[in-house]
Structure 1
Amino acid sequence: MSYSVILQNKYDLSPLVENISLIDSLDQIAYMATISLVVTPDFPVITPGDEIRISGIPYGSVGSKVPLLNPGVVWETSSTASTAKHISITVYDRTIYLAKSEDECLFAANTTAAQRLRKHASNWGIKLAEVPDTEISLKRAMYRPQTIYSMIQADLKETAKGGGELYVPRMTAAGLSLVKIAGNEPVWKLEAIEEITQSRTLEEAATRVKVLGTETNSGEAPAKVLAIADGQTAEYGVLQIIVQEDDVKTASAAKRLAQSKLRGVGTTYSVTCPDLNTLRAGDKVILNGTALIAVSVTHQLGDPGKMSLELAVFEDVKRRYYL
């Protein structure tokens, strides 16, 4: 078969696989898999914490298998028995430890998101692969107890707000990387679409943005209004949000911040099509001639497989996840 599941580097479970799903999203750091298997008399004991990996032949290739989720850790198991016994395994890549672990961290000013990521990886024994220079110097950060992933997200958001690129952490067989949103090669063109749904909503729209300064010491007077930006108020009415940023010092900076927060109708596309098994959340695809970003992807591995995607334009991804 074109996919393999190896437990503890010695048990080949591939012939027992009933189905495999891989789930990735910009809302999560860890790549997740669910694997359903038939249990045989010589089936090995599977315990949460066991190492496991999933490999497959990339779509469009006739070569050898490549890692799809490696290194993986068994997180949960569930078994059922009727005429035959079956087991379902939930697997995550090792960034799950950054999502589930909490800490308190102090980072000096003028360090970058990349430097801070390296520090987290060192603290938690996670091997690093390619971590590009994120370039934007960040302000001093005192992170009270929270998950490591939330700290990483905050640093990547501050990088984007400072004019830097958009990055997503991603675990590969080589180690933890920072991958630029829409920086993938090749860029796949989605074809043979089985189903496509377009959703448009004003739910997260902001047609007016008001930027406020810090509150007064007395707390009895309203905060100073630094800037107001209007967008599509004539079309959609006034949907106002308030932004309060301690670091905004000038009227021009406040105006730029306000304009960056304006957003109109949000559009997303839900697509079901043949599987591109190496496609990840944050990758760019082409749908009907339009460049879109995969916000989430679910692979149903198989020969052939199928995938379900949620897609959005780059600017919507930037506003929704980074601003």
Structure 2
Amino acid sequence: MSYKVILQDQYDLSPLVEAINLRDSLEQVAYQGTVNLVVKPDMPAISPGMAIRISGVPYGKKEYVTLLNPGVVWEAESSNNGIKRMTLTVYDRTIYLDKSEEEYLFPAKQTATQRFKKYAADWNLKIAKLPDTGKDLGRSVYRTQSIYASMFADLRATAKAGGKLYHPRMLSSGLELYELGTNPDVYVLDTVTDTTQSRTLEGAATKVKVLATTASESGKEIPSKVMAMAEKDIDQYGQLQAIIQDDEVSSNAAAKALATSRLRGISETITVNAPDINVIRAGDAVMLGSMKLLVISVSRELGNPGSMSLELGTYDDVKRRFYLE
């Protein structure tokens, strides 16, 4: 097996590995792994909290690179049916951002980049790459919630302000704020074993209203003021109306841009199964035929060649589904 599993930077568990599965998704922050081991008497005791890393040889390459590092053992489950085995659930260390809660009060005119520096400093995370997201955000009050929930709220606000799409990643060198679709190597999926295409009007919006923050007048409730409205394809798909009420939208122009960006017709998702390309991550761009698509999620079974299942979507669909809803 052209993969290595190293525990605590000193124990090579690779000869004991029966299977390794990895999952990455835009719906979660941490890269997740499952490692199935055969337990031997001379194997070190393994318990949650221990450091672990998984390395492999990328497609078409000869040298090992780290795939999940720095990682942490989150769960360890043993079984014995004549042969003692252990299943490890591991995550990269962004799992601590998802499992830890804090309260944050941020002033207006800060970018997501500035706030990410604060998150990283508070949780002792090294920074590998934090690009300038370039959009000033409004004042934000994040009451008790996970750190990642606050992070993602900043990234959604950036997208709503017309900024680019980002997703946090943990690299060996530290925390990266990755701009979706900017991977230098865009792999062509030319050996797909099967493809499933799903098209739906679920979540569609052919008419969108952006409302001002609800106010009262002399103690009486009054209808919300409509700041902007946009519509498209009503004749084709019917009237499916969405209403947005966002405290950070302060101008009619910004409201109009937000309403237009929220319009959505048929949503298309493509799932493909293919031989594994082990360096493809959620948020990467890939080519399927003539279409350039983003990876929404990837589940892989490492091996030679191994296999992967990719959920793919267009840039606009990913933006609407994850950043504008």
TM-score range, shorter chain: over 0.9
Any unmatched runs of 5+ in structure 1?
none
Q: CA deviation at 1:220?
A: 2.1
| Cross-structure match for 2:318 | 317
Cross-structure match for 2:45: 45
Shift of 1:219: 4.9
- Give me the TM-score of the superposition, normalised by structure 1: 0.97
Find the counterpart in structure 2 of residue 234 from structure 1. 235
Q: Using the alignment, how far apart are the partners of 1:259 and 1:105 within structure 2?
A: 31
Confirm or deny that 1:156 pairs with 2:155.
Answer: yes
Amino acid at match of 1:80: S
Q: Which residue of 2 aligns with 1:71?
A: 70
Alignment partner, residue 220 of structure 1: 221
Q: Give per-residue Cα distances to partners, 1:42-91, cap 9 Å, x unaligned.
A: 121110000000001111102x2111001000000111101201100000
How far does the alpha carbon of each residue in 1:124-175 deviate from its partner, in whole angstroms, 9 at most, with x for none?
Answer: 1111111111111111212111100001001111111112111110000000
What is the aligned partner in structure 2 of residue 141 from structure 1?
140
What is the one-letter code of the residue matched to 2:290? G
Deviation sequence 1:220-248 (CA, Å, 0-9, x none): 22111222211111111111111112333
Task: State the distance in 1 between where 2:129 and 2:144 align.
Answer: 28
Query: Is 1:110–2:109 an aligned residue pair?
Result: yes
Aligned residues: 322
Residue in 2 that maps onto 1:197: 196
Give 1:7's aligned residue: 7
1:294 aligns with 2:298: no
SS at match of 2:321: helix
Q: Which amino acid aligns with 1:32?
A: Q
Whole-angstrom distance in 1 between the partners of 2:85 and 2:171: 29
Please give the alpha-carbon distance, in whole angstroms, between the structure 1 residues aligned to 2:264 and 2:225: 23
1:167-214 per-residue CA deviation (whole Å, 9 max, x = no partner) reads 110000000001110000100000111110000011110111111112
CA distance in structure 2 between the aligned counterparts of 1:267 and 1:135, rounded to whole angstroms: 30
Q: Does the 8 A contact of 2:5 with 2:55 survive in 1?
A: yes
Change (3 A) 1:219 1:241: farther
Runs of 4+ in 1 over 6 A off after TM superposition: none
Which ranges in structure 2 are unaligned for 5 or more consecutive residues?
Answer: none
Q: Once structures 1 and 2 are overlaid, which stretch shifts more, 266-275 or 100-109?
A: 100-109
**In 2: Cα distance, 1:143 partner to 1:219 partner:** 29
Q: Deviations over 1:93-135 (max 9, x none)?
A: 0000000000001212211111111111111111111111111
Partner of 1:59: 59
> Partners of 2:136 and 2:226 in 1: how far apart?
27
Root-mean-square deviation (CA, aligned residues, Å) is 1.1
* Identical-residue share of aligned pairs (%): 54
Matched, 1:130 2:135: no
Quick one: distance in 2 between partners of 1:247 and 1:15?
A: 54
What amino acid sits opposite 2:251 in the alignment?
T
Secondary structure (helix, strand or coil) at the match of 1:145 reads strand
Q: CA deviation at 1:252?
A: 3.1
2:129 is paired with a residue whose SS is coil
Cα contact 2:138–2:248 (8 A) shared by 1:
no
**Aligned-partner residue type, residue 301 of structure 1:** L
Amino acid at match of 1:242: I
Task: Give the secondary-structure state (helix, strand or coil) at the position aligned to 2:253.
Answer: helix
Following superposition, the deviation at residue 249 of structure 1 comes to 3.5
Deviations 1:24-47 (A, max 9, x none): 000011000000011111121110
State the alpha-carbon separation in 1 of the partners of residues 197 and 72 from structure 2: 36
